[in-house]
Chains A and B, each alone.
Chain A
């Protein structure tokens, strides 16, 4: 089973909140060959949504051109310490993962 761990951090400052997410995902574009010489099937995240206290604030629609184990950063206005920050993604195979954290 693939490990899809998500690391999420939200830091409140004068300009809102800096949110950083490190996802674990192979982001295979369907053209690469593995060590055995077989083509690895396409497997990549297609959509990522960021929510603050359950309100969607940003959606990224993505293709296979995003790096494996992708790192993202956003800046969101009006985030207070203690607000719940949630990230959810789904991929082309229908897998879904979510993680929330409290803004610091």
Chain B
């Protein structure tokens, strides 16, 4: 191993090899394609088989009130409920509203930061599954330049 670059390349290849071909169930393999292809929030819920969530003030969503660039909207979600197992991020007026379906283990705190695209001014809705029950909250974002289609 002559230099650092070569070492890093080899280490990277070894790390990658562990995840090729799903050894030991490395992948969740439960991505619901129909939910990600659904064209409305209602169809997302239907595809996921979710019952109607209850509004909750314990879901805190931090987003800018006005987003200059809809292609890069920062979102921070914090859920103040015990045993949060799953968080869904939805951009209500996007062509494909479901942005992310997040599965949390017991070691994961119910907190998440991400950057998402919003096609137009819209609510960002969060659905959290805590102790088997579904809760929801939403925040509006005004988008100046849409982030999904060419302007």
Contacts and interface: CB of A to CB of B under 8 A. Distances in A.
A96 B113 contact: no
A57 B96 contact: no
B141 to A, nearest CB: 13
Interface residues of B, number: 46
Interface in A57-104: 57-68, 70-78, 86, 88, 90, 96-100
B90 to A, nearest CB: 9
Contact of A90 (B27, B91, B111, B149): B27
B54 to A, nearest CB: 23
B19 interface: yes
Kindly name the residue among B30, B104, B113 whose own CB sees the greatest number of chain A CB atoms within 10 A.
B113
Given A32-B149, A67-B117, A98-B15, A59 B111 contact: no
B57 interface: no
Given A61-B31, A96-B16, A66 B108 contact: no
A59 B36 contact: no
Contacts of A86: 15
A102 B13 CA distance: 18
A33 interface: yes
Contacts of B116: 65-67
B50 interface: no
A61 B100 contact: yes
A71 B16 contact: no
Interface of B: 12, 15-16, 18-20, 26-28, 30-32, 36, 71-74, 76, 91, 94-109, 111-117, 147-150
Interface of A: 15-16, 20, 27, 29, 31-33, 46-47, 49, 52, 55-68, 70-78, 86, 88, 90, 96-100
Given A62-B101, A70-B115, A75-B108, 6 more contacts: A15-B109, A58-B102, A62-B99, A63-B96, A76-B107, A100-B15
